[in-house]
Amino acid sequence: MTKDFFKRYAISTLGLIVVALGVGVSIKSNLGIAPLSCVPTILSLKFTGISVGTFTWMFNLTFICIQACILGKNIKWDILIQLIPIFIFGYLVDGAIWLFDSLNAPATNYILQILLSLAAVVLTAIGIRLEVIGQGWMLSVDGTINLISRTTGAKFSYVKVGIDVLMVVITAVLALIFFGLLTGNGSTVVIREGTLIQAIFTGLCMKLTDPVVDSIFLPRKRG
């Protein structure tokens, strides 16, 4: 039992790390931020004293509230355990941003930018699946997507695409209000082709990466 407990949370933690790296790679691409990091990033550009990671865990708090509204009377107190991974993830995002900022300057070659955006798609897809498999830590955003999927019967990957697109739209509106632009603040690019690539293809990519991740981390059924 104890061994299984630690294994689950180890897999879930690995998922958080991989997703955070995906955020870092998307920023490094200089072609647009990962959809679920768009809102925290645009807020951080407006309120410069607060880091992207801090806005990330604040942003995730709203999704815990959304889950509470969906569950209604069926809500369980263990939903509060999602408070732990969102704080961890916030610091992981700041760490990933620092790590990639310490490397070479952001990519300027367009082909390389596209490749980095696609790499972010793959990392995010793998990280989310690890969270789901571990059934330990799960970001409240992903927990909300999972809840909507179970409640409506829609595929997780399709709900993921819908949420990602919604976040991009909200970010564009905020960018327009704050800076009079749709893409960012004029110096930092938040929304561009890379954002759309990640919004559209992350959920679809999971169809390809989920079986691979499952084959590695899920126990095989004996025939």
Q: Quick one: what percent of the chain has pLDDT higher than 90? A: 26
**pLDDT attached to residue 3:** 65
At residue 1, does pLDDT exceed 50? Answer: no
Cβ distance 198 to 125 under 8 Å?
A: no
**Euclidean distance between CA atoms 208 and 196, whole angstroms:** 19
For residue 56, what are its two tokens?
């990330």
Cβ distance 56 to 37 under 8 Å?
A: yes
The owner of tokens 């690539």 is: 197
Angle among Cα 195, 200, 203 to the nearest 5 degrees reads 120
Nearest Cα to Cα of residue 196 among 186, 188, 207, 204: 204
- When the pLDDT of each residue in the chain is averaged and rounded to a whole number, the result is 86
Across-strand partners of 189?
184
Which one has a higher pLDDT value, 2 or 25? Answer: 25
Q: Domain ranges in the chain?
A: 10-214
Angle among Cα 136, 37, 21 to the nearest 5 degrees reads 60
**pLDDT attached to residue 47:** 95
